[in-house]
Amino acid sequence: MALDYASLLARDHFPPGEVWLVGAGPGDPGLLTLRAAQALSQADLILHDSLSGGAVLRHARPDAEIIAVGKRKGAAPVPQPRINQRLVEGARAGQRVLRLKGGDPFIFGRGAEEARACQAAGIPWRVIPGVSAGLAAPAVAGIALTQRGMAQAVTFITAHDEAGGLPMLDWAALPGTIAAFMALSRLNELAVLLIAAGRPAATPVAIIAGATLAGQVTLRSTLGACSLAARRAALQAPALVVIGDVAAVDLTTHVPVAAARRHA
């Protein structure tokens, strides 16, 4: 039976006075979900992060108010309490308020803080999940985070805690593959901590910059050499860092010749 997209989307009516926390995905506008696109087309007020794939905003109504509130290097970000306040003010004014966040709202996206602000103000809210860069970036680089026989677990971490530094973790206890968000500027510190915690300096590392976009770059190195390699390659954020044996594998180069001919 064919999927009835019209019926699927019809239930996503965006009532005035609500806040929707929407994931924009990893950057490629083709990876925006149908529900996210539908919500964008109905929103009166859109507060968005510094998105890698800004083309997703093309789904917004021409008369929608669009405000950039994301962090940019070298520019002062809009404080989170002010973002929370703007969400509540818009909803109380009867607007359909959409908070557009890169990746998924609840994966290192501060979506929970915004949801709690709405709850405290008595504002109805909902979340539309997005494709997290933690899953998408390795996949498009040919890395299976939990490749059978190599990794039975994956650990997602952020390299920036509330104070802007590396979080206080038990680095020796982190299991399996590590996928580190926002780690490019903290790569040397991260590598030093992991090596001190017992990870070999020869542990494979992959840095995926601009994942899913036309300028995507994947740099493969080791834990001991990755910081210098990233500087020499002049990699730019946003980037995801994958640490573990699977980071040495590039599945995109392992397509059997016969299979490639069948799909030609």
Residue numbers annotated as active site: 49, 71, 182
Q: What is the pLDDT along the chain (264 residues), one digit of tens a residue?
A: 344 545 555 567 899 999 999 999 999 999 999 999 999 999 999 999 987 667 899 999 999 999 999 875 545 578 999 999 999 999 999 999 999 999 999 999 899 999 999 999 999 999 999 999 999 999 999 999 999 999 999 999 999 877 677 889 999 999 999 999 999 999 999 999 999 999 999 999 999 999 999 999 999 999 999 999 999 999 998 999 999 999 999 998 754 433 333 333
Has residue 211 been placed in a domain? yes
**Same domain (yes/no): 104, 216:** no
Domain CATH number, residue 152: 3.30.950.10
**Same domain (yes/no): 232, 147:** yes
**Same domain (yes/no): 159, 110:** no
Nearest to 227 by CA among 216, 243, 250: 243
**Same domain (yes/no): 156, 172:** yes
Domain of residue 182, residue span: 134-251
Has residue 27 been placed in a domain? yes
**Same domain (yes/no): 23, 119:** yes
- In angstroms, the CA 74 to CA 37 distance is 30
Last residue in a domain, options 105, 131, 157: 131
**Same domain (yes/no): 141, 217:** yes
**Same domain (yes/no): 125, 140:** no
**pLDDT given for residue 11 in this prediction:** 62
Beta bridge partner(s), residue 65: 45
**Same domain (yes/no): 73, 172:** no
Dihedral (CA of 61, 67, 70, 73) sign: positive
Number of neighbouring beta carbons within 10 Å of residue 75: 10
Q: What is the dihedral of CA 254, 259, 263, 264, to 10 degrees?
A: 80
Last residue in a domain, options 76, 104, 131: 131
Q: Are 56 and 26 in contact (CB under 8 A)?
A: no
Q: What is the dihedral of CA 106, 110, 111, 114, to 10 degrees?
A: 160
Question: Looking at the 3D structure of the chain, how many domains does it have?
Answer: 2
Has residue 214 been placed in a domain? yes
**pLDDT given for residue 7 in this prediction:** 55
Last residue in a domain, options 97, 131, 165: 131
**pLDDT given for residue 29 in this prediction:** 93
Has residue 110 been placed in a domain? yes
Has residue 264 been placed in a domain? no
**Same domain (yes/no): 108, 147:** no
**pLDDT given for residue 75 in this prediction:** 56
Domain CATH number, residue 43: 3.40.1010.10
**pLDDT given for residue 187 in this prediction:** 96
**Same domain (yes/no): 61, 108:** yes
The pTM for the full model equals 0.87
Q: Give me the half-sphere count of Cα atoms (radius 13 Å) on the Cβ side of residue 196.
A: 9
**pLDDT given for residue 161 in this prediction:** 75
**Same domain (yes/no): 123, 194:** no
Has residue 247 been placed in a domain? yes
Has residue 257 been placed in a domain? no
Has residue 72 been placed in a domain? yes
**Same domain (yes/no): 113, 161:** no
Q: Are 48 and 57 in contact (CB under 8 A)?
A: yes
